[in-house]
Amino acid sequence: MSDGLLVIGSGPAGVSAAQAYRDAGGPGPIRIVSADEHPPYQRPPLSKDVLRGDAPAEPVPIDDEDPDLRGITVDLRTRVDRVDTDARVVHAAGREFGYRSLVVAAGSAPDPLPTAEDGADVYLLRSHADAERLVEAASHARSAVVIGSGFIGCEAAVSLARRGIAVTVASTEPAPQLERLGERASRLLAGWLADEGVTVIPDVRVTGVGAPREVHLSDGTTHSPDLVLAAVGVSPATGFLEGSGVEVADGFVVVDERLRTTAAGVWAAGDLVRAHNATAGRALHVEHWGDALTMGGIAGRNAAGGEETWGSAPGFWSEIGDRTLKHSAWGDGFDEVRVVEHGDDDEAGVTVWYALDGAVVGALTYEADQDYQRAEGLMAERTPIDDV
Ligand SMILES: Cc1cc2nc3c(=O)[nH]c(=O)nc-3n(C[C@H](O)[C@H](O)[C@H](O)COP(=O)(O)OP(=O)(O)OC[C@H]3O[C@@H](n4cnc5c(N)ncnc54)[C@H](O)[C@@H]3O)c2cc1C
Q: How confident is the model at residue 190 (pLDDT cuts 50, 70, 90)?
A: very high
Model confidence at 300: pLDDT above 90: yes
Q: Is 326 helix (H, G, I), strand (E, B) or coil?
A: strand
Mean pLDDT across 112-141: 96
Residues found in the chain? 388
DSSP notation for 217-277:
ETTS-EE--SEEEE---EEE--GGGTTSS--EETTEEEE-TT-B-SSTTEEE-STTEEEEE
CA–centroid distance, residue 382 to ligand 1 (Å): 30
As a 3-state breakdown, the chain gives helix, strand, coil percent values, each rounded to 5, of 25, 30, 45
CA 138 to centroid of ligand 1, rounded, Å: 22
Distance of alpha carbon 269 from alpha carbon 253, whole angstroms = 9
The protein residue whose alpha carbon is closest to atom 20 in ligand 1 is 289
The Cα–Cα gap between 185 and 199 comes to: 18
pLDDT tier for residue 2 given thresholds of 50, 70 and 90: confident
What does the alpha-carbon distance between residue 86 and residue 61 come to, in Å, rounded to a whole number? 35
Task: Give nearest CA residue, ligand 1 atom 21.
Answer: 289
Q: Which atom of ligand 1 is nearest to the CA of 79?
A: 42
CA–CA dist 197, 101 (Å, integer):
51
Instruction: State the average pLDDT over residues 109-135.
Output: 96
In angstroms, the CA 159 to CA 172 distance is 21
List the strands of the sheet with 214-217, edge to edge. 206-210, 214-217, 222-223
Mean pLDDT in residue range 179-198: 96
Return the half-sphere exposure (C-beta side, CA atoms, 13 A cut-off) of residue 219: 10
Atom number in ligand 1 closest to CA 234? 53
**Ligand 1 center to residue 300 CA distance, Å?**
17
Residue type for position 38: H
The alpha carbon of 11 and the centre of ligand 1 are apart by a number of angstroms equal to 5
pLDDT of residue 123: 98
Average pLDDT value for residue range 120-128: 97
Confidence class of residue 346 from pLDDT cuts 50, 70 and 90?
A: confident
Distances 135 to 18, 49, 57, 101, 150 between C-alpha atoms, Å: 31, 11, 9, 39, 20
The reported pLDDT for the residue numbered 321 is 87
**Spatial CA neighbour of 56 closest among 109, 128, 5:** 128
What are the CA-CA distances from residue 350 to residues 187, 266, 329 (Å)?
A: 12, 43, 16
**Ligand 1 atom nearest 318 alpha carbon:** 8
For residue 170, give the nearest of 134, 144, 192 by alpha carbon.
144
Q: Assign domain 114-230 one CATH number from 3.40.50.300, 1.10.468.10, 3.50.50.60, 3.30.540.10.
A: 3.50.50.60
Q: What's the gap in Å between 386 CA and the centre of ligand 1?
A: 37
Q: List the residue whose alpha carbon is closest to atom 38 of ligand 1.
A: 106
What CATH number should be reported for the domain whose range is 5-109+234-303?
3.50.50.60
Going from the Cα of 269 to the center of ligand 1, the distance in angstroms, rounded, reads: 11
Best of 10, 43, 235, 327 for a ligand 1 pocket test (most atoms within 8 Å of beta carbon): 43
Closest ligand 1 atom, CA of 110? 53
Is-contact 139 230, C-beta < 8 A? no
**CA of 145 relative to ligand 1 center, distance in Å:** 24
DSSP symbols for 209-223: EETTTEEEETTS-EE
Mean pLDDT of 17-46: 98
Arithmetic mean of pLDDT, 153-174: 98
User: Chain-wide mean pLDDT for the chain?
Assistant: 96
Testing ligand 1's pocket by substitution, the residue of 271, 286, 295, 318 carrying the most ligand atoms inside 8 A of its CB is: 271
314 contacts 287 by C-beta, under 8 angstroms = no
Q: Does 114 sit behind a cis peptide bond, omega within 30 degrees of 0 on the bond before it? A: no
Segments in the chain forming alpha helices (H): 12-23, 49-52, 128-138, 151-162, 178-181, 183-195, 289-303, 369-380
Nearest to 301 by CA among 50, 13, 21, 33: 21
Mean pLDDT of 9-23: 98
Task: Supply the pTM of this predicted model.
Answer: 0.97
Which whole number is the average pLDDT over 179-199?
A: 96
**pLDDT, tens digit (0-9, with 9 covering 90-100), for 79-113:** 999 999 999 999 999 999 999 999 999 999 999 99
Q: Which residue, 109, 41, 105, is CA-closest to 69?
A: 41
Mutation probe of ligand 1 site: the residue of 267, 289, 310 with most atoms within 8 A of C-beta = 289
Closest residue by Cα to atom 49, ligand 1, is 10
**Do the bridges between strand 227-230 and strand 122-123 make them parallel or antiparallel, or are there none, so unpaired?**
parallel
Give the pLDDT band of residue 1 (cuts 50, 70, 90).
low
Q: Counting atoms of ligand 1 from 1, which one is nearest the CA of 12?
A: 25
Q: What average pLDDT does range 143-164 have in this prediction? A: 97
Ligand 1 first shell, C-beta below 6 A: 8-14, 33-36, 43-44, 46-47, 79-80, 105-108, 125-126, 152, 237, 240, 270-271, 287-290, 292, 316-318
Distance CA 314, CA 40 (A): 23
Percent of the chain with pLDDT over 90: 95
The residues, ordered by sequence, that sit 6+ positions from 280 with a Cβ below 8 Å of its Cβ are: 311, 313, 330
The arithmetic mean of pLDDT across residues 32-45, rounded, is: 97
Protein residue with its CA nearest to atom 27 in ligand 1 = 107
- 81 CA closest ligand 1 atom index: 41
3-state secondary structure 22-42: HHCCCCCCEEEECCCCCCCEC
Residue owning the nearest CA to atom 36 of ligand 1: 106
Question: Residue 320: pLDDT above 80?
Answer: yes
pLDDT > 70 in the chain, percent: 100
pLDDT band at 55 (very low <50, low <70, confident <90, very high): confident
Contacts of 19 (CB under 8 A, 6+ apart): 63, 66, 69, 72, 297, 300
Q: Which atom of ligand 1 is nearest to the CA of 239?
A: 41
Instruction: Please determine, for residue 288, whether its predicted confidence score (pLDDT) is greater than 80.
Output: yes
Task: Give how far Cα 366 sits from Cα of 188, 280, 330, 369, 371, Å.
Answer: 9, 24, 19, 8, 9
Instruction: Point out which residues pair with 364 in neighbouring strands.
Output: 327, 352
Q: For CATH 3.50.50.60, list the domain ranges present in the chain.
A: 5-109+234-303, 114-230
